[in-house]
Structure 1
Amino acid sequence: MSVLDRLTGPQLPSLAGDGVVLRMPRRTDYVAWRELRAESRDFLRPWEPLWMADELSWESYRLRLRRYGQEAREGASFTFFIFDADGATLYGGITAGLIRRGVAQNCMLGYWIGQRYAGAGLMQRAVEAIKLFVFDIQGLHRIEAACLPSNARSIRLLEKCGFRREGHLRNYLKIAGRWEDHYLYALLAEEWSVSQSRDGASRTSGA
């Protein structure tokens, strides 16, 4: 970690999952991030907001880091990069954002993965790791996720991770320059607790 990372970034623990590590982005991650996003451009752009002309520039990345740090300090959003267990290979990113406290106690899940790593189960492992952070560490009650009806990969991921489809949101987000409908998925803390109990019972019994 660089001196600037230590001075400007919130000191948050890394999240260890099944063969993946989640940690907040650093200045030193820029080259790996730029290269992975660049080679995955055509794969990612149909599912994301319109890319700007300077999307992959150092200045754009620096501003992202500043925003991520500020949001984390305020407890409004936490953005992590997803790495292999050694922290050497960048796979993608995942965010618990738009955090609401008070009577809501929820957040919105967002994620992306490099094309070369898609379909290997890595994002499912990252989602499982961030559940612990959201429910156990942040104490939130609900994780929401929105995905395009045409995004079969994302739908499969959310359903494998225990999310339930709750609605159809019309012209919900502007994706690739167009307002698009989205499916709304959600997972509740009590549903996660039950699944954790089942998993623990299965391991104890040797199932």
Structure 2
Amino acid sequence: MRPNLRLFSSCGDLSATFRALPSDGITLRLISEDNLAATYEWFGGFADSRPMREELMRNYLPRYENGRRTNVGFYSLVDTELAGLTLLTVDSWEEKTGSAGADVLEHMRGRGITPRSKPHLFYLAFELLGLHRVTTGCLVSNLSSKRSIEKTAGFQLEGVLRESGVNEAGEFEDEYLDAILRRDWRRLYDKARVEVLS
């Protein structure tokens, strides 16, 4: 099912239109007010449950601006196994910009889950929401995130933001800034590979 783009650009709650985006063995399931408690519970029983649950509550909850959803969080599945969290935030509807992020459960790391989930987010950003640009980044000391970003087709390093992040020691640290444009996505990705499930 291919949804109507106009519906997404004015829709406040995306869960009324779709619930999941599967592709390449990974399914992103939309986090909504209806499934938040169940999602929180599902992240129990892992060595890193506490930090993952904290991330869920801090960064992945639905947020709205002028009746439109701006924070679109997902929990990710590899086949049927819980893998982590993935996020697209609309930073500006007027400038058509957004940002992406992810958190993967410790025991699922090293499987390329974050780069493999980006086609889903890019489809949402560029095809469904009509954005022009999506950014991401990481602290310069976060080598695993840096490698993950480098493995994601279309992201280009645009620069280093001086002392714009705070590391685990509470110190200011430089951050890499990467971005992909809509035209890059069109050239590199086959949008027909992402399904939209209601």
TM-score (norm 2): 0.74
1:30 paired residue number: 40
CA deviations over 1:41-93 (Å, ceiling 9, x no partner): 79xxxxxxxx6xxx858xx96x669x72343863211111101234xx21001
Contiguous gaps of at least 5 residues in structure 1: 1-7, 43-50, 201-207
2:151 matches 1:160: yes
Matching residue's letter, 2:143: A
Matching residue's letter, 2:161: L
1:70–1:155 CA distance, 2 compared to 1 (3 A): closer
Give secondary structure in 1 for the equivalent of 2:73. Answer: strand
Greater percentage in helix: 1
Residue 91 (structure 2) aligned to one of 99, 105, 120: 99
CA distance in 1, matches of 2:119, 2:93: 22
- 1:175 is displaced (CA, Å) by 3.4
Greater percentage in strand: 2
1:182 paired residue number: 175
- 1:114 is displaced (CA, Å) by 0.7
Matching residue's letter, 2:73: T
Matching residue's letter, 1:149: V
1:20–1:181 CA distance, 2 compared to 1 (3 A): same
Residue 84 (structure 1) aligned to one of 74, 78, 83: 78
Contiguous gaps of at least 5 residues in structure 2: 1-12, 193-198
Residue 69 (structure 1) aligned to one of 59, 62, 65: 62
2:116 matches 1:125: yes
Ranked by relative contact order (alpha carbons within 8 Å, sequence separation 6 or more), the top structure is: 2
1:13 paired residue number: 19
TM-score (norm 1): 0.71
Q: Is the CA contact (8 Å cut-off) linking 1:75 and 1:99 kept in structure 2? A: no
Matching residue's letter, 2:129: Q
Matching residue's letter, 1:77: N
